[in-house]
Structure 1
Amino acid sequence: MTAHRAKGLQWRLVVVAGVQEGLWPDLRRRGSLLEPDRIGRDGLAEPLTPGAMLAEERRLFYVAATRAADRLVVTAVKTAAEDGDQPSRFLTELGVEPRDVAARPRRPLSVSALVAELRATTVDPAATPALREAAAERLAALAALRDDDGVPLVPAAHPHRWWGLYEPTRGEVPLRDRDRPVALSGSALHQLATTCSLQWFLGREVRAEPPATAAQGFGNVVHVLADEVASGGTPADLSVLLERLDSVWDSLAFDAPWKSRQERENARAALERFLRWHVMERDLGRETAATEHDFDVTLEAGGHRVRVRGSMDRVERGPDGRAYVVDFKTGRNKPTAAEVERHPQLAVYQIAVREGALDGVEGFTGRPEPGGAELVQLRIGAPKREGGDELPAVQRQPALSSYDGDGEWVGELLADAAGRVLDERFTPSPGRHCDTCSFRGACSARPEGRHVVE
């Protein structure tokens, strides 16, 4: 509490913390702009002089120091720099020579740190039985403390608030019905198979993902504009696209105005790359057959039925009559060539084409064969040998005819992903995706979350 509120009270031990010059004494003028504190019975009083303010501060410090019946502890910080924090002049008036403590405390001087140390002591094999028992008793005493309303003062000291004391639970109702196909999207398969199944579960099933970020808004806007151009709804004209971009840009939330301007320039560059790629692809003889094409196919893999649903950003028909699937990316990083060759999401698109995802799409005769799939990185420029920064980096996956032939690995991924979901095996898999994961604070594979279960 403040020194003012402590007046008239007393305790065995009192700590007066932060006795710094500039705070004790605080010689700044009191009151507000209109100075109502100067109003008295005889009119307006004169403002306090610096000497009078110093005397008042000394009296307040005296009040704080005399609240202790047995022991008084006064602390201050002293920095080496002359213009840094210095102890108050009042310390020399206590009649005791201040003692310098140069080392840091072994733990933060807070209640939570005390509870953590006591908990660690109770299970420390190097501690004596008497010390472990004493730590447990101290925890029990802290847990029993209540305020005047009966609210626990140190709730973290009670074992009911501790994580990791019980065996993992299992829901009575299974996550998925084993008699029905396991529904997965291409992106979900990618996450389950190559990144982290725990991240997928918390984000997709628990729906604990935080609200969409500005980066996701960036990608959504660019995807919509690319779809409008491909479908013929908007002309392939940069000025028109930028006008459409500006009409929605202010609705995206950025941390600072400079960040909004920077991302607006990145969006312009991405749209320029898209337009050049769009024209280049038509010159190569591939024509747009569908955009934002929804599909829903059921596949057999490893004894499991997997229902794959999703949307293809763009499907193109090549001169050979094959179907080429395009997936636009607006992230800052791209996978390696080896990762693209076995990219689960692209592979699922190709298998879906073979299994009828494009049945009925105008321009194809019968059920087309997949000709390959590719990632078009609109935020990342192509290497110089492929056109340089003016064109997007394009990463191609070869054609897959089936998932029991050259795409056998796809069937294995589908079976593994379906098995994880049905068996509810959602274990963390550390990797570079951890840097942007929303659940690091509760993940046992990360230092931030390891304390939750240890």
Structure 2
Amino acid sequence: RGGVAGRGVAAPGDPATAPGDAPAGDATAVLRDDDAPAQVRPWLDTETAISLLTSPLGGMDAADLRRLGRALRDEERAGGNKVPPPSDVLLARALAEPERLVTHDPAYARGAQRLGALLRDTRELLADGGTAEAALWLLWNGTPWPARLQRAALRGGAAGRNADRDLDAVCALFDTAARAEERTGGRGALNFLEELDAHDIAADTLSRRPVRPGAVRLMTAHRSKGLEWSLVVVAGVQEGLWPDLRRRGSLLEADRIGRDGLAEPLTPGALLAEERRLFYVAATRARDRLVVTAVKAPADDGDQPSRFLTELGVEPKDVTGRPRRPLAVAALVAELRATTVDPGATPALRDAAARRLARLAALTDDEGQPLVPAAHPYRWWGLYEPTHAAVPLRDRDHPVALSGSALDQLANTCSLQWFLGREVKADAPATAAQGFGNVVHVLADEVASGRTPADLAVLMERLDSVWDALAFDAPWKSAQEKEHARVALERFLRWHVMDRGGRTPAATEHDFDVTLEAGRYEVRIRGSMDRVEADEHGRAYVVDFKTGKSAPTRDEVARHPQLAVYQLAVREGAVDEVFGGRRPEPGGAELVHLRQAAPKKEGGERLPKVQAQEPLDGAWVGDLLATAAGRVLDERFTPTTGQHCTHCAFQASCSARPEGRHIVE
């Protein structure tokens, strides 16, 4: 019943009666060997790998495992493996080859990388004839686990007693290893493993949990029974929640079933007494300090403090108004940072803020990693002047290489998005939507070139052969997208065989590379045309297939940069070889949206939506190229907001977006 907000208990640290760390016997898992093929499972089976990662030696929790497993699968896909192995297999491989984890975020990969290196050193020690006792000491001494147990033991209380028991168990494990080696020496770890097996001690392996560091625990009042903390916060003590006098049970009232048949439902008085006892349980979990909070709305029909508050024997204190900032570390750091650079603040206040920031910046975890990295001035990017690279992004003496899509980003949408995605190579990995488009484009090319017949059944058979290689979030999403692909291919086939004003195919997937003048710059345009057709006047007409879910407006198509670049490339000789060495005039270009239906008057659902661009008129394309080239050579990439932000992978680090503004503020 209830939850954190309404009927919950929040307490810092582990409870006094919480179980201690996992048994020290977990350390022996590394001594086992695995006879699975090395190319499939290196030397460590997946079950043992997961156990080690979540043991006190690894110290990882379920969230860290999920994040690391997801990152390893993304790495496999980026490396060309479209169907990567399961996460547990990749985790076992990474643990056996810890150097693979160097490129991953230390926030979730540091524990696995450290443990992997430690296991490798232990295996080398055993392979060189080292004893089980020496191997255990290497494992024990190479992790933060001893320091954690020492701190817990010195704190005392039930958590300290658990730590003492764990330390005793570790000492007993070392004694066992020493005795096994002395009794029948010469067999290394095998004697030790046989000694442990001979003990035949039952263990509850199902109850093992990851190491829980000191933290705030959130739970309901029922879950807190039997536990104690130094500080307890009982939040949301409003009337209607404490007490909650609603009838318990379900539609069939299974809670009334007892030994003697159906019992009478609890009366309101009995419910009130039960709620009072539950509140007493929550309040008495505190050893030193208890904080009880409630909300008091101005209106009588709003939230009001519970009647139980008056039974605590302390007059409630009214706190009106909101705090000047959220009560969180990030907000505190932001306020202190702003104060240190505020010219209106007194020197004493600025000095006090700087000292407090220094204290926060010096805080580290068990492994020496900063707990509040944003407090250090080295992280205050907003105070830094714009950087200048020693090596220019582009050589001004050479043409600026651009594509049609790059031209659109640089001139019309967001130049910073282009720089981070194209130059820094920080764009998100290919998505299933991009895979969808690639498959449809390939099949359209095969039909137009005559390599595959224009038959839907044949195309679907080809589609089936590659579809499972595309990664989708769920099976139902895969089935849905496959149906969309079938509809798109069906529309393409109808469009392919229809009369398009006398135009005939001349080339498909035609690569081009032309250099042209754009103001005071030279621009090299490279790309690929999905389809080039010859119209009845001998002009070149370019077709670009689209598989996205959105389409530009009519005005946007008239000045669509990518279509304009195609026409400009035709004018500069990009398709001369297709037309027998003759340079044709550009006759226009069009977007064919295979995923979207045409208007009813143009064929409706049976045909794709087509948006045409007239032959080039005016110098606007040259101006667009000059603008884009100038921004690349000047190396000033300013973020610009718009519809393109919806699918941008850099929102969290973009100063033009609310979620990324913390980078410079």
TM-score range for the pair, normalised by the shorter chain length: 0.7 to 0.9
Tell me the amino acid that sits aligned with residue 311 of structure 1: S
1:75 alignment partner, SS class: strand
Query: Residue type of the partner of 2:636?
Result: R
Structure 1 19/358 Cα, relative in aligned 2: closer, same or farther at 3 Å?
closer
Once the two structures are TM-superposed, the CA of residue 156 in structure 1 deviates from its matched residue by 2.5
After superposition, the Cα gap between the structure-2 partners of 1:125 and 1:368, relative to the gap in structure 1 and judged at 3 Å, is: same
What is the aligned partner in structure 1 of residue 664 from structure 2? 453
Q: Displacement, 1:185?
A: 1.2
Q: How does 1:136-285 map to 2 (within 5 A)?
A: 136-146=354-364, 150-281=368-499, 284-285=501-502
- Between the aligned partners of 2:219 and 2:581, the Cα distance in structure 1 is 85
Q: Which residue, out of 301, 304, 314, partners 2:521?
A: 304
Alignment of 1:39-118 (within 5 A): 57=226, 60-61=227-228, 64-65=229-230, 73-78=231-236, 80-81=240-241, 82=244, 89-92=281-284, 99-102=292-295, 107-118=325-336
Moved more, 208-217 or 141-150: 141-150
Q: 2:648 aligns with which of 428, 437, 440?
A: 437
**CA shift in 2, pair 1:326/1:16, >3 Å:** closer
Percent identical pairs in the alignment equals 68
Q: Secondary structure at the match of 2:155?
A: coil
- Aligned equivalent of 2:572: 355
Task: Please say if residues 19 and 76 of structure 1, whose CA atoms lie closer than 8 Å, have aligned partners that are also in contact.
Answer: no
Distance of 2:482 and 2:646 partners within structure 1? 24
Q: 2:352 aligns with which of 106, 131, 134?
A: 134
Deviation, structure 1 residue 426: 1.1
Shift of 1:348: 1.0
- Kept in 2, the 8 Å contact 1:24–1:88? The answer is no
Instruction: Name 1:68's counterpart in structure 2.
Output: none
Asked if the contact 1:270–1:379 (Cα under 8 Å) also holds between the matched residues in 2, the reply is yes
Answer 1 or 2: higher relative contact order, Cα 8 Å, separation at least 6.
1
Give the match for residue 602 of structure 2. Answer: 386
Query: What amino acid sits opposite 1:100 in the alignment?
Result: T
The question of whether the paired residues in 1 share the 8 Å contact of 2:399 and 2:524 is answered with yes
Tell me how far apart the structure 2 counterparts of residues 15 and 350 of structure 1 sit (CA, whole Å). 63
The alignment partner of 2:594 has SS state of: strand
Q: After the TM superposition, which of the residue ranges 289-298 and 254-263 deviates more from structure 2?
A: 254-263
3-state DSSP of counterpart to 1:244: helix
* Matches of 1:93 and 1:370, distance apart in 2: 81
Please give the alpha-carbon distance, in whole angstroms, between the structure 2 residues aligned to 1:151 and 1:395. Answer: 56
User: Which of the pair is proportionally richer in helix?
Assistant: 2
Partner in structure 2 of residue 3 of structure 1: 15
**Match of 2:506, SS?**
strand
2:221 to 21, 24, 28: 21
Q: Distance in 2 between matches of 1:157 and 1:98?
A: 29
**Deviations for 1:199-246, whole angstroms, at most 9, x for unmatched residues?**
111111111111100010011011001101000011111111111111
Q: CA deviation at 1:158?
A: 1.3
Distance 1:156 1:87, change over 3 A: farther
Residues of 2 paired with 1:319 and 1:395: CA distance? 20
Cα displacement (A) at 1:343? 0.8
Query: How many angstroms apart in 1 are the aligned matches of 2:569 and 2:442?
Result: 23
Cα deviation, residue 111, structure 1: 3.1
Q: Secondary structure at the match of 1:375?
A: strand
The amino acid across from 1:91 in the alignment is: A
CA contact (8 A) 1:18 1:77 kept: no
- Compared CA separation, residues 150 and 259, structure 1 to 2 (3 A): closer
Q: Is the 8 A contact 2:592 2:609 kept in 1?
A: yes
In 1, Cα distance between equivalents of 2:547 and 2:599: 17
Shift in alpha-carbon separation, 1:147–1:249, aligned structure 2, 3 A: closer
Q: Gaps spanning 5+ residues in structure 1: where?
A: 26-56, 66-72, 401-405
**Are residues 130 and 232 of structure 1, via their aligned partners in 2, closer, same or farther at CA, if it must alter by over 3 Å?**
same
Distance 1:314 1:24, change over 3 A: same
Cα distance in 2 for residues equivalent to 1:87 and 1:257: 46
CA deviation profile, 1:88-128 (whole Å, cap 9, x unmatched): 61415769886434387665544333322322333456655
Q: Is the 8 A contact 2:416 2:638 kept in 1?
A: yes
Distance 1:242 1:152 in 2: 55
Paired residues of 1:292 and 1:314 also in contact (CA < 8 A)? yes
CA contact (8 A) 1:78 1:87 kept: no
Alignment partners' CA distance in 2, 1:151 and 1:245: 50
Contact 2:234-2:282 within 8 A present in 1 as well:
no
Which amino acid in 1 is paired with 2:605?
D
Q: Report how far residue 192 of structure 1 moved.
A: 1.2
Aligned to 2:182: none
RMSD, matched Cα: 2.8
Distance 1:184 1:93 in 2: 66
SS in 2 for 1:3: coil
- Tell whether 2:637 aligns with 1:426: yes
CA contact (8 A) 1:193 1:413 kept: yes
Name the stretch that deviates more: 318-327 or 186-195: 186-195
Query: How many pairs were matched up?
Result: 403
Aligned to 2:92: none
Deviations 1:289-313 (A, max 9, x none): 0000001111011011111111000
Say whether 1:342 aligns with 2:559.
yes
Contact residue 521 and residue 626 of structure 2 kept, 8 A:
yes
Letter in 1 for 2:664: V
Distance change in 2, residues 1:337/1:364 (3 Å): farther
TM-score by length of 2: 0.57
Whether the aligned pair in 2 keeps the contact of 1:140 and 1:158 (CA below 8 Å) is yes
Rounded Cα–Cα distance in structure 1 between residues aligned with 2:323 and 2:511: 61
In 2 relative to 1, CA 87–261 (structure 1 residues): closer, same or farther, beyond 3 Å? farther
SS class of match (1:195): coil
8 A Cα contact 1:297 1:355, kept in partner: yes
After superposing the two structures, state which structure 1 stretch, 153-162 or 238-247, moved more: 153-162
